Amino acid sequence: MSSSKLGGGAKHRLMSEMQELSKEKWVNIDLVNANILRWRVGLIVLNPDSAFNGGYFKAEMTFTEEYPYQPPTFRFLVPIYHPNVYPEGKLCISILHTPGEDITSGEQASERWSPLQGVESVLRSVLLLLDDPEINSPANVDASVMYRDSRAEYNKKAREIVEKSKGDIPSGFVMPTTLEPPAPPKSTEDDAAFWAASDDELDFGGSDTGDDDDADMAEFDENGEEENASDDDDN
């Protein structure tokens, strides 16, 4: 496949993904210099149990024309003190690693990037990582030790970072405070009640005994002719 076709496919898919993500409350996306291959992301933490709840974290994602066959890059633009975030803002996260199994790191192919993944998969993985760090292979050893041994101090530092991040909220942007759950599905009990009521109410005034029908049918013989009809009618 030519590079021009690859590039066109990457841009088409990215435009589609951006359109879908624009409907989400937990992320705010702009393009850098109107370039669909460079995204400026505002990642919003809405998990009330997260140490980073309420944060608005600026990041940049870049894509090549080989996307989605090759993963994007992701980098926080503001410092975040976290076990899996390097000082320059890059993350230590499997989903951003090139496709295929890595014998050296022990990562399975299912943990790494694949063309079936997408921007939403990456962003949701980043949010999960913020909430639940992987301290066994840290990018920031000091943050990993603090998270393990001094959780209260770690949470305090995280809250300070959250407050500082609010200065990056764009003018006019309304920060969500929670993710509204979808409306609950209609229960089968409601359906049963509806049909029970319908059986009682849908009475069209007909006879329940069927006596009138029997009387009408009695006037015809089994051949469908009137029993009392005159033989002269046949002539």
Question: Of 80, 92, 119, 143, which one is the catalytic site residue?
Answer: 92
| Chain centroid offset of residue 184 CA | 17
* Residue 92 designated active-site: yes
> Which residue carries 């295929």 as its tokens?
100
Sign of CA dihedral 119, 48, 139, 161: positive
Q: How many CA atoms lie within 13 A of 157 on its CB side?
A: 15
Q: Tell me, letter by letter, the H, E, C secondary structure of 150-215.
A: CHHHHHHHHHHHHHHHHHHCCCCCCCCCCCCCCCCCCCHHHHHHHHHHHHHHCCCCCCCCCHHHHH
Catalytic center residues: 92
